[in-house]
Structure 1
C-alpha cells in the first residue's frame, strides 16, 4: 500500500478508475448539496426572522480564539485550510470533528494544554496531506469541539445536530481514559458514530461500538514496562503504587495489569493513594518511605503524571533509595512531563524514570524501521507542508502530534474506502467499516491494522527515560503481538 492509499487504477478489470469515480461522485454530491443548501437556507432565514437570532452553534468551530490564545496559531491554520476546501471543492468534502478536553483541571482531563496543541497540530497535518493528494474526493474539513467535564454533552449534541449539514463522518481526538471521555464515547457510540482515538488506552473501553484506537492498551503497556524493568534490574523486586481515583479508568487498569504481569517472587507489595483527595502528595511522601525501606529496586507507578513529581522528589530525598538507585516505570501519561522545565522535577539522577510512550520521533528514523519514507517525510522532510516547516518551533518529543496524526489518518483512509459509493458515507457506515477488521494503513507510528472490535493489532511501544529537567532519551522499543511482548 502506498503512503496515502491512492489506487493508481484498475486497468484491465473493466472497473472505472478512482479519479473517474471521484469526479462523478463530486458532481452528484455537488448537485445534491446545492439543493439541500437552498432548502436549508429558506428554513434558516425563516427561523432568524421569527426568533431574531442565528441558530448556528459555536460548539464546533475553527475560530481562532475559540479555545484560548495558545491554540490560536493552529486554529488559524485549520480555518484557512477549511476555507480553501469550501471555496475550491464546495460539493466534494467531508468533515471530521476533533474533540479535546478544553475545560477542567488536569486531574479531571488527563491532558495538558501542550499535549492538546500538539494533538491538534498532528490532526491538521493529516488533513493537509490528504487535501494535497492528486486523487479523488472527498476533501477534508476539520472542526474542533470541547469534551471537557462541563461541556462534553452539548458538544456531542451539536455533532448530532450538525452531522448532515456539515457532512460529518467521524470524530477523533477524544482525550484520555477519564470518566468524561467514557461518557462522551458512550453517547456517540449509542448513536452509531465512528470514532478514532489517539490516546484512549484503558482496557475497559475495549470493544465499544464504532470506536477504533491506535494506541497500545494499558495491558500491553504494563507488560512492556515489566519487560523493561527486568532488563534494567534482572533481579526484579517491585512495588506497585496505584491511584484509587474512582473516575480514572487509566490508573485502574494500569495497576491491575502491572500486578498481573509480575511473578510472585518479583512482587514486594502494593501501596495506594487517591489523587482525587486534597493531600495526596502527603500520602505519596509516606509511601516513598515504605518503598525505600522495602528492599525493592523498582516502582511500577499506576498513576497520572500530575502526582508523579511528588513521588520522585520523595524518593530522591531518602538515602536508602538514592544509594542503591531506584527505577520508576510508568505508562504513557508521563509524556505530559516530557517538556523542558526551568527547575528539576526531582533531585537525584540515581532515581531513574522510564515510561512506555505511545509514539516517539526516533521511530521515524530508526535503521530498518517500519515507517514508510513517504510518511516519514510528513514529519522529517523539507516539503512545505512537513511538520518542521509548518510548526517550526514545536517538538515531536511527547509523541502527541504523531499519534493524533495517525488517528486522523485512519479516519481519512476509511472515508476513502467509500469513494466508489454514490454518496458520502454516514458516521454509521464509517463505524461499521472501522471495526470490521479490514482497516490497515501505514502510519507515522508504524503499520496500523485495526482488528475486529477496534483495537490495533501490533504495536511498537517505545521506552523513554525522562530526566529531571523534562528532557527525554529513547531507551528502545518493545513489540507487542497478540497482546504479549515480542522482541525488544
Structure 2
C-alpha cells in the first residue's frame, strides 16, 4: 500500500504548480488589459497609445499615424537614429512637431496639409544637422511627431508626455512647433507648455492674442487683453494679413465699398480676431455698412446648403463691391456659390486670409470665378510666383529659394506637384523648426556647460533672434524682439488675386512685417 503522506505531498506540489500557473495567467491578462491601449497602436514603449479610438502620443518616427505619412516618417526615424548613432559625445536635443495627424470627417486638418507639414519640418531638421544655415551644427537635433487626435481633444496626455521629455537630461525636448489651429484648445496647450518653460513656435496659429504681449516672451498681457507668453509665430497674425489687404485696397484706382460677412459661431479664435482686425484696420472702406452674421460650421463640418441666402441678399442691396470674409474656408466656398446665384449685377471682390493657396489647384474653381465676375483676393502665407523672380529680387523672401531647393532635394516628386508648395504648410513648418534650431544653437555661447541645453535656456534666446541672429527662413528673414508681441519681423505677406493668369509675376512692393 502506498504511503499516504507521499500521495498528499505530491498533491500539494501539483496544487502549488497549478496555483502558480493560474497566478501567472492572471498577471499576463491583467498586464495585457492594462497596456491594451499600447498594443493596439504598434506595441508598448513606442510613445503612442489608443484613446477614444485614436492612436495619439509622441513618436520618433517608428509609429506611422497615416499611410500617406509612411515615407516621410521613415525619413524622420532614419535621421533620428543617425544622430543617436554618431557616438561623438556631442549634445543632442529634441524638437516636437505637435499637430493633428489622425483624421475623421470633422477634423480641422487633412492628410494633405499635414503631409506637407511633416515634409517641411524634416527639411529644416536636415538643413540644421547637415549645414550651417541655422547656426552651428551642434547640438544635433532629433524631431519627434506628437499627435493630439483628429480634433485636438486628446491634447492633455500628449502635452504631458512632452513635458516629461523636457525633463530628460540626456536628450531634452527644448521646443515645440506646429500647435494646430486657432481654436480654444490651442490656448490651453500654450498655457500648459508655458508653465513648464517650454518655448513654442507656432505655424498656423494666426489669431491675434495667441502670442506673447509687447513686454516680451514672458508677457501674458492684461485682464482685458490676455496673451500667451512663450509663443512665437512664423506665419503672419490676422492683423498683419489685414494690413496687407489694406495696402492692396489703398492702391486700387476706385475706392472699394466693403462689408464684413462674419461667422458668429463660438469658440473660434481665428474668426473672432479676423473680424476684429477687419473692423480696426479697414473701417474707412466699410463706411457704416452693417456686419452680416451667419452661423457657420464647426471646424471640419460640411457647410449647410442655403446658409447664405439672406446674407447675400443684404450684401447685394448694401451697394458693397467688396466682401471681407471672416469665416472658415469651407464656408467661403459655399458663400461664393450663393453670391454667384444672387441678384447682384456688379463685379464682386471677396477678401480672405489663408496659410496657403490650395484653390490654385482647382481649374474648375478658377473658371467659376471668371464666369461669375468674382475676384478672390488672398492675403497669404506663400506665393508660388516667388519661384519666377530672380535671386535678390525685393518681391520675394531672400531665403525662399534655398528652402525650395532643399525641400525638392528631399522630396523630388513635389517639384512638379503644385500642392507640395501651394498649401503653404511645408514652408511654415520648415520655418518653425528653423527658428527653433537657430535659438538652440545660440546656447553654445554658454561655453563649457555640462550637457545639452534645457528648454529654459533655449527660451531665453528667443528674444535675441534679431540683428546678427535673424533667421533666413523661407517666408522671410525673420527677427523677434520683446516689443514684437511674438510677430516675426521681415516676414512677407503676399497678396494673390484670383483668377490668376499663368506666368504672372508676384505683386510688387509686398507687405513685409515691421517695414511700416
Partner of 2:274: 254
Alpha-carbon displacement from aligned partner over 1:432-466 (angstroms, at most 9, x marks no partner): 22145645211111210012143212332111134
Equivalents in 2 of 1:468, 1:310: separation in Å?
21
Residues 1:464 and 2:485 are matched in the alignment = no
User: Is the deviation greater in 170-179 or in 134-143?
Assistant: 134-143
Matching residue of 1:186? 191
Q: What is the distance in 1 between the residues matched to 2:296 and 2:88?
A: 49
What whole-Å deviation, never above 9, does each CA across 1:404-424 have from its counterpart, x for those lacking one?
111110100111111243231
Per-residue CA shift, 1:50-82, capped at 9, x if unaligned? 978755522111446531111222111111211
Give, in whole Å, the separation in 2 of the partners of 1:372 and 1:243: 33
- Deviation at 1:282? 2.6
Q: Would you say the 8 A contact 1:192–1:210 is kept in 2?
A: yes
Q: Which runs of 5+ in 2 are unaligned?
A: 1-27, 36-43, 49-56, 213-227
Partner SS for 2:296: coil
Relative to structure 1, the CA distance from residue 74 to residue 232 in structure 2 (aligned partners, 3 Å threshold; closer, same or farther) is farther
Secondary structure in 2 matching 1:79:
helix
| Cα shift at 1:229 | 3.1
- Which residue is 2:172 aligned to? 167
In the alignment, which residue of structure 2 is the partner of 1:101? Answer: 100
Q: Which residue of 2 aligns with 1:152?
A: 155
Is 2:472 the counterpart of 1:448?
Answer: no
1:358 equivalent in alignment to 2:348: no
**For structure 1, which runs of at least 5 residues remain unmatched after alignment?**
1-47
Q: Please say if residues 376 and 499 of structure 2, whose CA atoms lie closer than 8 Å, have aligned partners that are also in contact.
A: yes
Say which one has the larger Rg: 2
Aligned ranges 1:59-458 → 2 under 5 Å: 59-63=57-61, 66-89=64-87, 91=89, 92-103=91-102, 109=108, 111-133=109-131, 136-148=137-149, 149-163=152-166, 164=168, 166-207=171-212, 208-232=228-252, 234-264=254-284, 266-267=286-287, 268-276=289-297, 280-320=304-344, 323-332=345-354, 335=356, 337-338=358-359, 340-341=361-362, 343-344=364-365, 347-349=368-370, 350-363=373-386, 365-367=388-390, 368-369=392-393, 376-380=401-405, 385=409, 388=412, 393=417, 395-421=420-446, 422=449, 423-435=451-463, 438=466, 440-452=470-482, 453-458=485-490
Give the TM-score taking structure 2 as reference length.
0.75
Return 212-221 or 260-269, whichever deviates more: 260-269
List per-residue Cα deviations over 1:246-268 (Å, max 9, x = no partner): 22111111111112222446433
TM-score by length of 1: 0.79
Which residue in the other structure is 1:57 paired with?
47
Q: Tell me how far 1:233 sits from its aligned partner.
A: 6.1
Aligned pairs (5 A) from 1:23-34? none
CA distance in 2, matches of 1:372, 1:463: 14
Matches within 5 A, 1:1-40: none
Q: Is the 8 A contact 1:329 1:353 kept in 2?
A: yes
In 2, are the aligned partners of 1:99 and 1:171 still within 8 Å (CA)? yes
SS in 1 for 2:421: coil
Would the aligned equivalents of 1:194 and 1:211 in 2 still touch at CA under 8 Å?
Answer: yes
Once the two structures are overlaid, the 10-residue window that deviates more, 323-332 or 65-74, is: 65-74
Count of aligned residue pairs for this structure pair = 431
TM-superposed deviation, 1:137: 1.9
